[in-house]
Amino acid sequence: MYSRCEILFPHSRVSGLKKLKGEDWRKLTERIALLPETHEDALSFSHMMIRLCDCLNCDLGSYKAALGCSACSQRTINALRDTDQQLLRRFEKSRKEVLSYLNQIGAGEEKAA
């Protein structure tokens, strides 16, 4: 039924969001889209979108999953009343959380070595 089904917001969908808000949002999405998906900022953007889109509560039988990640993420951003600055603050909050997590697991790897 689903040829390629993604459950968590994929990095490949970032560029499809660039025209949905203002100039600052466009600049952020363009910068993130150029990064490899493993870059800390790309991970942070995906983390933010996973929260906004409620991806953790999505399942293959849901309406949202049937729409696909592109449509779901676009609908989510369009529905938000956040300004570009509020979205950038959301991104920065996610970035701090991702960096904190990466630092934690990095410290754990150093102790194991």
pLDDT above 80: residue 24:
yes
User: Phi then psi for 21, rounded to 5 degrees?
Assistant: -135, -155
pTM of the predicted structure, to 2 decimals: 0.88
Question: Can you list the pairs that 80-86 forms with residues at least 24 positions away whose Cβ atoms lie under 8 Å?
Answer: 80/52, 83/22, 84/21, 84/22, 84/23, 84/24, 84/25, 85/24
For 32-86, the pLDDT digits (tens) are 999 999 999 999 999 999 999 999 988 888 888 888 899 999 999 999 999 999 9
